[in-house]
Structure 1
Amino acid sequence: MTGALTARRPGTDPAPLPWLPLALTVALLGTAIAYPLSSGSARDAVSWTIVLLGSAVSVSHATISRGARTGAGLLVLVGVVAVLFEALGLSTGFPYGEYRYSDMLGPTLLGVPFLVPLAWLMMAWPSWVLAARLTSRVRPARRRAARVAGAAYVFAGWDVVLDPQLVQAGYWRWANPEPGLPGIPTVPLTNLAGWLLAGLVLMSLLDVLVERTSRLPRIGDAAPLLTLGWMVLGGALAHAAWLDLPGSAVWGVVLAVPVLAVLAVQARRGRR
């Protein structure tokens, strides 16, 4: 693998607008706090703003940290894969199960609202960045497979928290929501299987993209990691305290435990 995929300090050459991803992240976190405190059309506006800011965090961080080719490639790759998977799901029910979007999400492409690939973009880059960190000590021969699997796990786990919230908001509905994970009666298990499959495909392609286009990171990864942590764990808190979604709150914490455990072990080893 190239040096861009290994755990190193940011490059010494100056990055343009190094503050931009973190500034967008701060705006995203403030907007996310407003979600459970809003309702109706105001909540819809908050949802759009969260996704737009989250996708901007991903593209800006990939561009500033790894280079313009990586940022542009990320935007195109995730957009294409998201539309193809979602269009396939809408027309055949594979791989997620049968579902339909409401008109609340606005204009569509092949039946897929524009907001949806932007949501994938918000989720994909932080998932890959976290997986790269989690697998930085894996043997080089096994690192790519571990990184792709870890990124797909994080990607699908994020959706476990997000999907019940957006079903509750009325953005889409499942024809057959059961059986689902215990405590989540509105989303079928086929959706989780579909996200794992989509995640494996997307992260395999993204891994190749980063390997072929990325330079040595010029800024740290605080912005995408903070985005991911806040949206998953902060989302779980919002589900438990304000949105009456205790099942997805519990699952968000449960799925985060292995990730936090690996990070704790890495931190302990780093202090030795």
Structure 2
Amino acid sequence: MRKGWGNSKGLVLLGCLAWAGNAAYALGGNGGATKTYSPAVVALALAVFFVWHCGHRYGRSAILRFVAVVFVVGWAFETLSVMTGVPFGRYHYTDIMSPFLGHVPVFVLPAYLFMGYASWSMATLMLGIRTAALPRNAAYKVPLVAAGLMVLWDLSMDPLRATVEGRWIWIDGGAYLGVPVSNYVGWFLVTWCMFQAFAILLKDNPPSERSDIVADRSYWVAIPLIYSCFAGEYLLNPIVDHDPALTATGTAVQNIFSSVALITSLTLVPVLLLGLILALRPPLSRTRIQSPRSTRRRPNGRTSDEKPGIESGRPAPLPTRSCPSIVTAPRTHASGWKQPEPQNFDQ
């Protein structure tokens, strides 16, 4: 086995499969078998990646916690926005997205789940975190970065699925290729709530560490591949011969495809390249394998992470050295009193 490449090569293959499935979706003709079944291939690759990758890093219980958080938060905010227009804006789903759970399509929730975990993992990779437990202050940084990565993906996804394919309709339209700017503000807010809740759960119940994944390059290379897999569709759309019919907004489909491809090349592609560079780089030596909550006590009373002095909160002990006993001659005062001879305790 090549040094640095562990037993997670299957994760890399899943990333390549997701890329191939999205590319096939772009190349397939409307109504054809390729266009119909390629999304199932992508969904299968994302689902297997999520269970394998998340379970190996965080454990089975973390999988259930992440699923519960994403489904509850995602469904609640989607329902609120469909009914009130807050926080995404006024829109409604079409029958293309059936079946529904209330006002929300059932298949929207797995999209939140799989791309949410990909964004979370990408955020940890960008911040140099290769442990399961989050280091100090990372419980606030990771959710913010992950939410930003979700917005980058939605910049390319929403115009295609809404304006072009009509899976959902923005009632008031929008300035960004038919999508309102409020959608992206709401997208950041909702996904941040998901990630922040998961971070709190990880902090309260830190998972066991897996030292084997820290230097496993295939485990980390798979993350940017999965996160950016939809770029395989977005970049190919402009070069495929599509139906030039206009959508309800009056915007030419080919113009949207070209705009989204440009946006993808400025968002998802740079994140992909950065992720591959970070994944292939050896892990930093300061990466700790043990959980921050578990510290070992040394015989001197300090923990394994403490240093003597100011950093540990206690003053460092002064250096000591043995001094030889000094023997002096007895002194006699003028009054005749003789000073007692000092005793030598070293004898």
1:221 and 2:220 matched = yes
Q: Does 1:153 align with 2:148?
A: yes
The unaligned stretches of length 5 or more in structure 2 are: 130-134, 214-218, 243-253, 285-347
In 1, the alpha carbon distance for the partners of 2:64 and 2:143 equals 20
TM-score by length of 2: 0.63
Q: Match of 1:131?
A: 123
Aligned residue for 1:190, secondary structure, equals: helix
Give, in angstroms, the shift of residue 209 of structure 1. 3.2
Q: Does the 8 Å contact 1:70/1:213 carry over to 2?
A: no
Range with bigger deviation, 58-67 or 214-223: 214-223
Quote the Cα distance in structure 1 between the aligned partners of 2:59 and 2:168: 36
Q: Is the 1:90–1:99 contact (alpha carbons within 8 Å) kept by the matching residues of 2?
A: yes
- Which residue does the alignment assign to 2:24? 34
| 3-state SS of 1:35 partner | helix
**Separation in structure 2 between the aligned mates of residue 258 and residue 25 of structure 1, nearest angstrom:** 17
Aligned CA distance change for structure 1 residues 213 and 225 (closer, same or farther; 3 Å): farther
Picking from 45, 48, 55, the partner of 1:63 is 55
1:120/1:267 Cα in 2 relative to 1: closer, same or farther (>3 Å)?
closer
Partner of 1:223, secondary structure, is helix
RMSD: 3.3
Q: Hey, what does 2:92 align to over in structure 1? A: 100
1:27 Cα offset (Å): 3.3
Are residues 35 and 268 of structure 1, via their aligned partners in 2, closer, same or farther at CA, if it must alter by over 3 Å? closer
Structure 1 gap segments, 5+ residues each: 1-8
1:194-221 Cα distance to aligned partner (Å, 9 max, x none): 1111121111112223442533245423
Q: Is contact 1:86–1:112 with CA below 8 Å preserved after alignment?
A: yes
Q: Secondary structure at the match of 1:96?
A: coil
Instruction: Please name the residue that 1:236 is paired with.
Output: 234
CA distance in 2, matches of 1:126, 1:249: 21
Question: What is the match of residue 195 of structure 2?
Answer: 203
Query: Contact (CA 8 Å) 2:59, 2:207: kept in 1 or not?
Result: yes
Which residue number in structure 1 is paired with residue 266 of structure 2?
254
Change over 3 Å in CA distance of 1:92–1:51 after alignment to 2: farther
Contact 2:71-2:109 at 8 Å conserved across structures: yes
Separation in structure 2 between the aligned mates of residue 135 and residue 144 of structure 1, nearest angstrom? 11
- Deviation larger for 31-40 or 205-214: 205-214
Contact 1:99–1:173 (CA<8 Å) still a contact in 2? yes
SS in 2 for 1:40: coil
**Which shows bigger deviation, 99-108 or 41-50?**
41-50
The total of aligned residue pairs comes to 253
Name 2:169's counterpart in structure 1.
173
1:88 corresponds to 2:88: no
Contact 2:123–2:145 at 8 Å: present in 1 too? yes
What's the CA shift for 1:126? 0.7
For 2:92 and 2:195, the matched residues in 1 are separated by 25
SS for the counterpart of 1:88 is: helix
What percentage of residue pairs aligned between the two structures are identical?
25
Cα 1:235–1:207 change in 2 (3 A) is: farther
- Aligned equivalents of 2:226 and 2:269: distance in 1? 17
